[in-house]
Amino acid sequence: MSHFFKVQSLEQVMQLVSEFEAVATETLHISKAYRRLLAKDIYSDQDIPGFKRATMDGYAIYSGSSFGASESNPAWLEVKGSILMGERPNFSVELGQAGKISTGGMLPDGADSVVMVEHTEVVGSSEDKENYSPTVEIYKSVAPLQNVIDKDEDFKKGEKILEAGTILRPQEIGLMAALGISELAVYKIPKIGIISTGDEIVPIDQTPQHGKVRDINSYTLAGLVIEAGAEPVLYGIVKDDKDALYQACRAALDETDMVLISGGSSVGVRDFTVDILSLLKDTKILVHGISISPGKPTILAKSASSFDSTGFDSSSAGYSKIKPIWGLPGHVVSAMVVFKVVVLPFLQRLQGLSSFGQNSSSQLIRAKLTRNVASAQGRREFVRVRFIKERDDLFAQPILGKSGLIRTMVMADGLLEIDENREGLEKGEIVNIIPLRAFS
Task: Please tell me the predicted confidence (pLDDT) of residue 392.
Answer: 87
If you average pLDDT over every residue of the chain, what do you get?
89
Pick the residue with more confidence: 365 or 438?
365
Pick the residue with more confidence: 357 or 168?
168
Assign 228 to helix, strand or coil. Answer: coil
Instruction: Clarify whether residues 170 and 69 are in a common domain.
Output: no
Assign 247 to helix, strand or coil. Answer: helix
- Identify the CATH number of the domain in which residue 168 sits: 3.90.105.10
Residue 270 pLDDT > 60: no
Q: What is the mean pLDDT of residues 408-413?
A: 94
Spell out a b/e string for 167-201, using b for 16 or more CB atoms within 10 Å of the CB, else e. ebeeebbebbebbeeeebebbbbbbbbbbbbbeeb
Instruction: Clarify whether residues 165 and 136 are in a common domain.
Output: no
pTM value? Answer: 0.83
pLDDT band, residue 6 (cuts 50/70/90):
confident
First to last CA, the chain: 51
Decide if 135 contacts 81 (C-beta within 8 A): no
- Identify the CATH number of the domain in which residue 332 sits: 3.40.980.10
In a domain, 229, yes or no: yes
Decide if 324 contacts 346 (C-beta within 8 A): yes
Decide if 288 contacts 261 (C-beta within 8 A): no
Instruction: Clarify whether residues 101 and 200 are in a common domain.
Output: no
Instruction: Clarify whether residues 173 and 194 are in a common domain.
Output: no
Task: Please tell me the predicted confidence (pLDDT) of residue 123.
Answer: 86
Q: What is the mean pLDDT of residues 179-200?
A: 95
In a domain, 3, yes or no: no
d(CA 68, CA 427): 62
Task: Please tell me the predicted confidence (pLDDT) of residue 160.
Answer: 95
pLDDT band, residue 5 (cuts 50/70/90):
low
d(CA 362, CA 152): 30
Instruction: Clarify whether residues 179 and 268 are in a common domain.
Output: no
Task: Please tell me the predicted confidence (pLDDT) of residue 4.
Answer: 52
Decide if 25 contacts 81 (C-beta within 8 A): no
Report the number of distinct structural domains present in the chain.
4
81: β partners: 99
Instruction: Clarify whether residues 197 and 334 are in a common domain.
Output: yes
Residue 310 pLDDT > 70: no
d(CA 399, CA 429): 17
Instruction: Clarify whether residues 303 and 214 are in a common domain.
Output: yes
Residue 271 pLDDT > 80: no
**Domain residues for 43?**
30-48+154-187
Instruction: Clarify whether residues 319 and 409 are in a common domain.
Output: no
- Identify the CATH number of the domain in which residue 111 sits: 2.170.190.11
Assign 409 to helix, strand or coil. Answer: helix
Instruction: Clarify whether residues 197 and 340 are in a common domain.
Output: yes
Residue 317 pLDDT > 50: no
Instruction: Clarify whether residues 331 and 382 are in a common domain.
Output: no
Task: Please tell me the predicted confidence (pLDDT) of residue 314.
Answer: 47
Assign 424 to helix, strand or coil. Answer: strand
259: β partners: 193, 325
Task: Please tell me the predicted confidence (pLDDT) of residue 315.
Answer: 45
Tell me what percent of the residues of the chain surpass a pLDDT of 70.
88
Residue 127 pLDDT > 60: no
pLDDT band, residue 400 (cuts 50/70/90):
confident
Burial of 17 (0-12, 13-18, 19+ CB in 10 A): middle
Instruction: Clarify whether residues 195 and 69 are in a common domain.
Output: no
